[in-house]
Amino acid sequence: MVGHRAVGYLNDLWKYDPTLNIWSYINGNKTINGLSIYTENGIPGGRRASTLSRISNNSLILFGGFGYATTSTAGCLSDLWIYNLSNNIWSLR
């Protein structure tokens, strides 16, 4: 939408290719302030100030931040997620 600017937290995941100088969308939803889904194949909710690191060629680890867990009230999070790049699945640890 032109002229519309949404405010809130997202859970989108992107990958940068320095050779092509482009960003590619990998995973996440387009819901602003989305809640975490704490199931076997869940998904982290919208957040900011979290820590994301690559732990292997096929995995990323996401810890905490400030955002939404299971209620519509934002707060400090201490959840730990693993993202498998091979099958595009988040898992809660």
pLDDT at 91: 93
Lowest-confidence segment of 8-12, 19-23, 37-41, 45-49 by average pLDDT: 37-41
pLDDT band at 5 (very low <50, low <70, confident <90, very high): low
pLDDT band at 3 (very low <50, low <70, confident <90, very high): low
Q: Which of 50, 52, 47 is nearest to 36 (CA)?
A: 47
Question: What are 34-85's pLDDT values in tens digits?
Answer: 899 888 788 999 999 999 999 988 999 999 999 988 888 889 999 999 999 9
Task: Please give the Cα distance from 50 to 85 (Å, whole number).
Answer: 19
